[in-house]
């Protein structure tokens, strides 16, 4: 496994995961707001049973809500896991990782903010930061990839 590439993939996925989390929360809200059956149900008290379509719709809504809650929890946990590793990076490495992968700033903007004269220096620092992230996240196995 190429841990350097895996680390880059992890870092690149953070903004998408954050947008995904917003979408999942909106989906949860929609499910909660549409918690009533799709048709107007009139209860017939002369029948000793409940219409199965009403029960099935309710169960389907509960299953969907449960799945969305699991997806939200998994996404939040993964974002927190990545953020925890990023927060362990050296200050300079954390800054370039944040600007490069999370904020998606241009290389020129990164060079200006970090006071670099050459673009090569930015790439070198980025590579060192990703390597440090890979070591912190994947452990000793990442040594062969960096």
Q: Please write the tens of the pLDDT for every residue from 7-49.
A: 999 999 999 999 999 999 999 999 888 865 444 555 566 666 6
Q: For residue 134, how many other CB atoms are within 10 A of its CB?
A: 25
- Looking at the chain, how many residues does it have? 146
Would you state the structure tokens that stand for residue 47, as one six-digit string?
């029948």
Q: Is this structure's pTM higher than 0.75?
A: yes
> In the chain, pLDDT over 90 holds for what percent of residues?
62
Q: Where are the domains of the chain?
A: 3-145
Q: Which residue has the tokens 């996404």?
A: 75
Query: In the predicted model, is pLDDT for residue 124 greater than 80?
Result: yes
């Amino acid at each position: 496994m190429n841990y350097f590439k895996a680390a880059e993939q992890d870092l690149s996925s953070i903004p998408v995961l954050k947008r995904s989390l917003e979408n999942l929360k909106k989906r949860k809200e929609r499910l909660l707001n549409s918690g009533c059956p799709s048709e107007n149900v009139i209860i017939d008290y002369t029948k000793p049973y409940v219409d199965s379509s009403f029960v099935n719709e309710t169960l389907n809504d509960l299953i969907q809500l449960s799945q969305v809650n699991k997806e939200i929890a998994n996404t939040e946990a993964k974002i927190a896991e990545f953020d925890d590793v990023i927060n362990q990076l050296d200050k300079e490495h954390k800054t370039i990782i944040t600007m490069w992968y999370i904020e998606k700033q241009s290389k020129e903007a990164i060079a200006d903010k970090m006071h670099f004269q050459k673009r090569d220096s930015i790439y070198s620092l980025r590579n060192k930061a990703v390597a440090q992230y890979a070591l912190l996240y994947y452990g000793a196995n990442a040594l062969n990839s960096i």
